[in-house]
Copies of this chain bind each other. A is one copy, B any other.
Amino acid sequence: MSVVPIEDRLAIEDAIIGLASAIDSMDDGEAVAAAFVDEGIYDLSTAGLGAFTGHAAIRGFFAAAWSAHSHFAHVLSNFAITAFAGDTASAQVYATGHALTKAGERSAVLARYRIDLVRTGAGWKIARHTTGFLLPPG
């Protein structure tokens, strides 16, 4: 792959961290959607939860998730750019996803994100976000 300019590497990290912040806000569907391109895909099929294409579908998924939970915390680490071609890039990220349901149940899952991004006039945005398990849920 071509050398990744530092500005792009950091901007890509910021976009991914920004999505986590938006998800963990528990209500900011606007910010979640804005992390994706218009036809962006949030793919949880590996977790058996389906795949959601486009801003409306992604917002709908999170509206439902937020209505069932009081807290999320997506703790990100191990950022790695795995592909880069100037205006497109792929990243691998580790995520420890903590959740607390409104019924009081806690869970924590160790996931590996694989994320495709594209450079847009408004910065790097997510084209496809897939989640696999680093460890099977315990």
Contacts and interface: CB of A to CB of B under 8 A. Distances in A.
Contact of A134 (B9, B24, B106, B110): B24
Contacts of A79: 17
8 contacts: A6-B6, A21-B78, A73-B134, A74-B78, A75-B78, A75-B96, A75-B110, A98-B134
Interface string A65-103: 000000101111111100000000000101010101000
A21 B71 contact: no
A49 interface: no
B134 A21 contact: no
Contacts of A96: 75
Nearest to A138: B106
